[in-house]
């Protein structure tokens, strides 16, 4: 599992898992030669290792950081197991300054991970030329009490396969990456999944108290800021993240700022918005004119550009108004929720009972956001364009998008029974 450092032009990291016989982290790193002998130029690297007891037996998780890398350069690495080495895996560091790139954004996978979620993940990679990184909006797994958590993480890793090992993964933690706890003294509580810090080696630059689940990455002119909504809502980390979010945006010199959080500011499925998060974070997002807010949790699709609603957004665009943050909610997996009443009038475009992935093209003066169904069909498209004064304008460049995919009573958009659940809960 390849993850970026805070400066991915010079630092990345890998986490990998072996059986209990390989107790030491051993990796070889080499320049990406065009010939067949990278071992001749490889240098050995060590890291940290932790024995981890799972439902499937004992295993070691190993973590190795690649530091001192050259910007905009291809490298090869392989990892050691007790019976030999992995295949050579290639990655490319970010450029030191701005350079156009594209990335993939995936909402919740969560259920039927290998059976159905893998289809969306793999289609996203197959249809996106050379993605530079992948953003995950949380709930990669379900971690329900009735399931084996280690199996779920195994399915999620298999769903992405070698893509996850070669393209940096930028995950936000969801509520299902927390385990619910209870004891007679403190009552109900939550603790981070033990798989999380072993699975992902993330930058240590987050908000106080949630350094392992909040962080930022500066990638070729974009600052990606990742928040932990579950810790904000349930573990007292709301204010510290608000202050950290403001500082991270105030100090950003990036051309574009993208914020990722699992719980959406504006919900498309739940009866009420995340009022606590909205009150704390939305003013900061608007103050610093964040470009995109990428979210999950609701298991539906929503693109919202004006809190006052779609008609107000159209009128504002017609009048040449400058665009503020655009809020996206998406779902990559099979678990679906029904749209709420506000979703029929507030967002610009919605869907239910549909699996999606998004691609974002980053250019100097344009963000081109495209939403595709799991079959690869274009479903939504918009561009954010900067004018000469730095203001943004939302353009819808595709005139004839397909009809919105929604359920009609008990019938789904594919003519089959609607799978979307009536009440969104978790």
The reply to whether 425 falls in a domain is no
Q: At a CB cut-off of 8 Å and minimum separation 6, what does 373 contact?
A: 354, 355, 356, 379, 405
Handedness of CA 315, 299, 275, 194 (dihedral sign): negative
Instruction: Identify the pLDDT of residue 425.
Output: 53
Does some domain include residue 130? yes
In a domain, 426, yes or no: no
Mark whether 290 and 412 lie in a shared domain: yes
Identify whether the C-beta of residue 201 lies closer than 8 Å to the C-beta of residue 13: yes
- Does residue 163 share a domain with residue 14? no
Residue 338's CATH number:
3.60.21.10
Cβ pair 339, 352 in contact under 8 A: yes
Q: Is residue 414 one of the residues assigned to a domain? A: yes
Q: What is the pLDDT of residues 366-395, one digit of tens each?
A: 999 999 999 999 999 999 999 999 999 999
As a dihedral over the C-alpha atoms of residue 387, residue 389, residue 394, residue 398, rounded to 10 degrees, the angle is: 0
**Structural domain includes residue 294:** yes
Report the b/e string of 17-49 with b at 16+ CB within 10 A.
Answer: bbeeebeebbbbbbeeeeeeebeeebeebebeb
Please indicate, yes or no, if residue 19 is contained in any of the structural domains.
yes
Percent of residues, the chain, with pLDDT higher than 70:
98
Q: What is the CATH number of the domain that holds 85?
A: 2.60.40.380
Clarify whether residues 102 and 38 are in a common domain: no
Domain boundary among 36, 69, 89: 89
SS3 91: strand
Please report whether residue 253 resides in a domain: yes
- Report pLDDT digits (tens) over 168-219: 999 999 999 999 877 776 677 888 999 999 999 999 999 999 999 999 999 9
- Is the domain of 238 the same as that of 214? yes
> Do 114 and 72 fall within a single domain?
no
Same domain as 82, residue 2 = yes
Residues 314, 223 share a domain: yes
Judge if 38 and 106 occupy the same domain. no
Tokens of 25: 């982290």
Ramachandran region of residue 150, left (φ > 0), alpha (ψ -120 to 50) or beta? Answer: alpha
Closest CA to 94 of 76, 72, 77: 72
Q: Of the residues 60, 89, 118, which one is the last residue of a structural domain?
A: 89
Distance CA 117, CA 115 (A): 6
Residue 76 structural domain: 1-89
> Total structural domains in the chain?
2
Q: Do 190 and 82 lie in a common domain?
A: no
Prediction pTM value: 0.96
393 token code pair:
């304008």
> Do 132 and 212 sit in the same domain of this protein?
yes
Same domain, 41 and 139: no
Please tell me the predicted confidence (pLDDT) of residue 424.
58
pLDDT tens track for 2-30: 999 999 999 999 999 999 999 999 999 99
187 and 57 share one domain: no
Backbone φ, ψ for residue 71 (5° rounding): -65, 150
The predicted structure's pLDDT at residue 253: 96
**Percentage of the residues of the chain whose pLDDT score is greater than 90:** 93
Q: pLDDT tens digit string along 311-355?
A: 999 999 999 999 999 999 999 999 999 999 999 899 999 999 999
**Strand pairing class (12-19; 2-4):** antiparallel
User: Which of 179-183, 258-262, 364-368, 412-416 is predicted least confidently?
Assistant: 179-183
pLDDT at 423: 57
For residue 114, give the DSSP letter.
I
Q: What does the block give as tokens for 83?
A: 């019976």
Distance separating alpha carbons of residues 372 and 121, to the nearest angstrom: 12
The pLDDT assigned to 181 comes to: 78
CA nearest 329: which of 358, 300, 369, 356? 300
Among candidate residues 67, 89, 111, the one where a domain is terminated: 89
pLDDT at residue number 184: 74
Buried b / exposed e across 113-122, counting CB within 10 Å, b at 16+? bbebbbbbbb
What is the average pLDDT value for the chain, to the nearest integer?
A: 95
Rounded to 10 degrees, the C-alpha dihedral 227/233/236/240 comes to: 30
Distance CA 41, CA 113 (A): 38
Residue 321 gets which letter from DSSP?
P
Per the domain annotation, does 355 fall within a domain? yes
Report, as an integer, the average pLDDT of 77-92: 98
The pLDDT value recorded for residue 190 is 87
Q: Are 149 and 193 in contact (CB under 8 A)?
A: yes
Residue where the block lists tokens 């992935």? 357
């Amino acid at each position: 599992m390849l993850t970026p450092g805070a400066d991915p032009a010079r630092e990345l990291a890998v986490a990998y898992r072996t059986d209990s016989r390989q107790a030491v982290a051993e990796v070889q790193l080499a320049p990406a030669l065009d010939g067949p002998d990278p071992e001749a130029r490889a240098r050995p690297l060590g890291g940290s290792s932790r024995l981890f007891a799972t439902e499937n037996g004992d295993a070691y998780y190993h973590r190795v950081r690649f530091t001192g890398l050259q910007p905009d350069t291809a490298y090869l690495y392989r990892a050691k197991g007790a019976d030999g080495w992995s295949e050579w895996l290639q990655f490319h560091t970010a450029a030191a300054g701005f350079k156009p790139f594209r990335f993939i954004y995936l909402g919740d996978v969560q259920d039927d991970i290998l059976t159905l979620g893998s289809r969306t993940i793999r289609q996203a990679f197959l249809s996106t030329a050379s993605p530079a990184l992948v953003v995950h909006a949380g709930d990669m797994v379900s971690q329900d009490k009735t399931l084996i958590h280690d199996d779920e993480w195994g399915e999620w890793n298999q769903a992405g396969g070698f893509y996850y090992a070669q393209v940096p993964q930028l995950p936000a933690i969801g509520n299902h990456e927390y385990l619910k706890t209870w004891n007679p003294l403190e009552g109900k509580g939550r603790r981070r999944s033990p798989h999380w810090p072993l699975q992902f080696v993330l930058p240590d630059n987050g908000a106080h108290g949630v350094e392992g689940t909040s962080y930022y990455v500066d990638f070729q002119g974009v600052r990606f800021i990742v928040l932990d909504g579950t810790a904000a809502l349930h573990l007292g980390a709301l204010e510290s993240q608000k202050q950290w979010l403001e500082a991270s945006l105030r100090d950003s010199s990036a051309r574009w700022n993208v914020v990722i959080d699992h719980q959406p500011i504006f919900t498309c499925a739940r009866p009420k918005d995340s009022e606590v998060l909205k009150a704390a974070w939305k003013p900061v997002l608007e103050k610093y004119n964040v470009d995109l807010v990428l979210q999950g949790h609701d298991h539906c699709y929503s693109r919202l550009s004006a809190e006052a609603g779609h008609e107000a957004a159209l009128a504002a665009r017609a009048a040449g108004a400058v665009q503020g943050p655009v809020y996206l909610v998406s779902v990559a997996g099979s678990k679906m929720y029904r749209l709420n009443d506000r979703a029929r009038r507030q967002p610009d475009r919605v869907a239910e009972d549909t699996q999606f992935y998004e691609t974002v093209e980053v250019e100097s003066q344009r963000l081109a956001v495209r939403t595709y169904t799991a079959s690869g069909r274009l479903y939504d498209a918009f561009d954010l364009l900067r004018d000469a004064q730095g203001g943004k304008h939302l353009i819808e460049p595709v005139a004839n998008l397909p009809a919105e995919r929604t359920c009609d009573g008990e019938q789904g958009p594919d003519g089959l029974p609607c799978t979307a659940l009536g009440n969104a809960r978790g």
